[in-house]
């Protein structure tokens, strides 16, 4: 018998008014996989991520997470189920300290029963936050305001925040967007580390990086699934070459 996929999208469509951003996309991911989704701008990658992470409901189709139908649940239920996402455009709490950003994110998982206790009693969230900041290399700037950080550091902070709920499925939307080559290298290392103990799906534009780190690559084009295979298969896929690789980097 085949292993139950961690997440399965069945016939997902999403329309914005008359515009079809996703058309009957069916996909599933194995637990522990490191996969990437690529495709030209406007292909529907972020839309698919928003649907997989519960911030957007599909117009049609179903989402099954670990075998349970989660379609249409509010986003916070997705997070509590074990799905977490980082945004394509950096999204932090700019006026709060770096530490507080991660602490607030971590607190979401324990706050239910302790919602009115004193913050200082929630020692475990403090420690979770500190450990995550060490993991992404931001422990040195923990007391600065998040809004003051350099772009690359804010991206790393976002990953720490996405990790704070201890997700089993992590969706990273263009984590290296706007990063320098050095920052990108650090981020790749970080992502590879994270992928060792959970399922990670990336949306990325940096083709070399995608083909280098992913076990599996999925190509979206005009809201439809164009190709799905190993990096080697994708490199040699005639359709992909025609619509995407041939045009150079996006």
Partner 1 sequence: MKSTAVATPSMWERMDPRRLMGGVSQHRVLASAAVLAVLPLLVPYPALAINVLIYGLFAAGFNLVFGYTGLLSLGHAALFGTGAYGCGIAIAVLGLPWYAAILVGLVFSTVSAALIGGLAIRTRGVYFGMVTLALAQCLYFLFYQWVSVTGGESGLRGVMVPSIDIGPIHLDLFDPVQKYYFLLAFVVLALMAFSRILDSPFGAVIEGIRENENRARASGYNVWFLKWMSFVLSGLFCGLAGALNAIHLGVVSIDSLFYTTSGTVVMMVLLGGMGTFFGPFVGAAAFLSLEDITANWTSHWQLIAGLVFIACVRFFPRGIWGSILARLRA
Binds 79: which of ligand ADP, partner 1, Mg ion, none (CB < 5-8 Å by kind):
partner 1
231: tokens are: 């990096």
- Residues 165, 198: Cα–Cα separation, whole Å: 13
Question: CB of 111: closest distance to partner 1 in angstroms?
Answer: 4
Question: CB of 221: closest distance to ligand ADP in angstroms?
Answer: 9
Instruction: Please list every residue from 63 through 82 that binds partner 1, using CB under 8 A.
Output: 74-76, 79-80
- Asked whether 199 and 29 are in contact (CB, 8 A), the reply is yes
- Residues 178, 243: Cα–Cα separation, whole Å: 24
Stretch of 15-23, 42-50, 95-103, 122-130 lying at the interface with Mg ion (CB under 5 A): 42-50
HEC profile of 23-35: EEEEEEECCCCEE
Residue from the set 11, 26, 67, 117 that interacts with partner 1 by CB under 8 A: 117
Q: Does 46 bind Mg ion (CB under 5 A)?
A: yes
Q: Does 47 bind Mg ion (CB under 5 A)?
A: no
For ligand ADP, the closer of residues 17 and 112 by Cβ is 17
Q: Does 198 bind partner 1 (CB under 8 A)?
A: no
Stretch of 80-88, 123-131, 156-164, 229-237 lying at the interface with Mg ion (CB under 5 A): 80-88
Output the CA torsion sign for 116, 119, 124, 128: positive
What residues contact residue 162 under an 8 Å CB cut-off, 6+ apart?
Answer: 84, 85, 86, 105, 170, 172
Question: CB of 49: closest distance to partner 1 in angstroms?
Answer: 11
For Mg ion, the closer of residues 46 and 154 by Cβ is 46
CB atoms within 10 A of CB 125: 22
Which secondary-structure segment (H or E) carries 37?
strand 34-38
For ligand ADP, the closer of residues 106 and 218 by Cβ is 218
Q: Which of 43, 18, 14 is nearest to 222 (CA)?
A: 43
What residues contact residue 176 under an 8 Å CB cut-off, 6+ apart?
Answer: 155, 183, 184, 187, 188, 204, 206, 209
Residue from the set 6, 7, 34, 39 that interacts with ligand ADP by CB under 6 A: 39
Instruction: Please list every residue from 129 through 158 that binds ligand ADP, using CB under 6 A.
Output: none
Residue from the set 9, 92, 190, 207 that interacts with partner 1 by CB under 8 A: 92
Which residues are at the interface with partner 1 (CB under 8 A)?
Answer: 53, 55, 74-76, 79-80, 84-85, 87, 91-96, 100, 103-105, 107-111, 114-120, 122, 161-162, 164-165
């Amino acid at each position: 018998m085949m292993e139950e996929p961690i997440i399965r999208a069945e016939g997902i469509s999403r329309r914005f008014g008359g515009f079809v951003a996703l058309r009957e996309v069916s996909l599933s991911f194995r637990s522990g996989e490191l996969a990437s989704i690529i495709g030209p701008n406007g292909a529907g990658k972020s839309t698919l991520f928003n649907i997989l992470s519960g911030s957007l409901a599909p117009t049609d189709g179903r989402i099954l997470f670990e075998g349970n139908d989660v379609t249409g649940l509010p986003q916070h239920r997705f997070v509590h189920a074990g799905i977490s996402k980082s945004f394509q455009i950096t999204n932090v709490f700019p006026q709060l300290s770096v530490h507080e950003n991660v602490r607030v994110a971590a607190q979401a998982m324990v706050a239910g029963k302790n919602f009115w206790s004193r913050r200082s009693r929630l020692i475990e969230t403090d420690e979770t936050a500190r450990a995550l900041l060490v993991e992404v290399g931001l422990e040195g700037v923990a007391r600065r305001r998040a809004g003051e950080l350099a772009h690359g550091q804010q991206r790393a902070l976002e990953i720490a925040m996405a990790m704070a709920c201890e997700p089993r499925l992590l969706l990273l939307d263009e984590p290296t967007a706007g990063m320098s080559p050095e920052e990108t290298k650090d981020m790749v290392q970080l992502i590879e580390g994270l992928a060792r103990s959970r399922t990670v799906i990336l949306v990325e534009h940096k083709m070399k990086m995608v083909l280098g780190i992913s076990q599996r690559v999925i190509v979206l084009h005009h809201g439809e699934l164009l190709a799905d295979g190993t990096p080697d298969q994708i490199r040699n896929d005639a359709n992909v070459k025609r619509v995407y690789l041939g045009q150079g980097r996006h």
